[in-house]
Amino acid sequence: MLYMKGLALMAKKSILRIGNHLSSSKGYLAMGEEALSLDANVFAFFTRNPRGGKAKDIDDDDVKSFLAFAKKNKIGPLVAHAPYTLNPCAAKEDLRKFARETMADDLDRLERTPGNYYNFHPGSHVGQGADIGIELCAALLNAVLKEEQHTTVLIETMAGKGSEIGRTFEEVRAIYDKVELKSHVGVCLDTCHIWDGGYDVRDHLDDVIDEFDSVVGIEKLKAIHLNDSMNVLGAHKDRHQKIGEGNIGLDALARVINHPKLKNLPFILETPNEHDGYAKEIKTLRGLYKG
């Protein structure tokens, strides 16, 4: 009986999927190797310069080598990130066209590494109003999503600075509801963003997750950006801080990675760090993970 209980406990034990943003300048295999050196088993990268511009040509041999490397070392999923310059709900048509063409191109390129995620900021309505912003963001998704694609696009929760949309769970759900190919869309929750947006993940994490589940649906949550915040609750400023050095704190972020509704998701660090800093944070969080 004790032996059977031991097997059951082992079967339930999970492995923390954690990593950070990596530079894509040297290609996919280089990112995979760097992730492994950090003891990361997931990672994020910008599909092109985060300020926009033409994407670097993809080396298909590099992709093939990476896919074999990732399979061998159990790395994934990838959480690609759209450039910051995209504004799906801009007031100017030329800016919306740029966002639409860039996202469509990114999704085509990501077909080389199928089964992963593409995260994007839903944008700023720049005075048009949140309802118009939501309409325009959903319209962009409806223009670029294809039934045959193998990448899930993730709407990121935002801090609500300026005229950002996606600042509340209700706004995220409103975007999702207007998307036609819902099977190809999910959500990425950023701990810094929602803290800055007024959701108290430090002292009321269960309530926040229950609210997300009630408004959006926990099954739509596919990835988490795990960040501390330089700001007080509800500041609407979006300033990331190193893990344990901000106003959310290490204890609260440890509860995030161990929350039963979250613990099996990929966690991406976007903290102000270089290689050694990320390695330290990953080691610390692995030590706090209860499996």
Could you list the active site residues?
Answer: 51, 81, 84, 121, 156, 190, 193, 225, 238, 240, 270
* Alpha carbons 36 and 40: distance in angstroms, whole number: 6
Contact 73, 31 (CB under 8 A): no
- Closest CA relative to residue 284, chosen from 31, 20, 23: 20
| Number of separate helices (H) and strands (E) present in the chain | 10, 10
End-to-end CA distance of the chain: give it in Å, rounded: 22
Question: What is the DSSP annotation of 84-151?
Answer: TT--TT-SSHHHHHHHHHHHHHHHHHHTTS-S-EEEE---B-TTS-HHHHHHHHHHHHHHH--TT---
Measured CA to CA, the distance from residue 186 to residue 172 in angstroms comes to 10
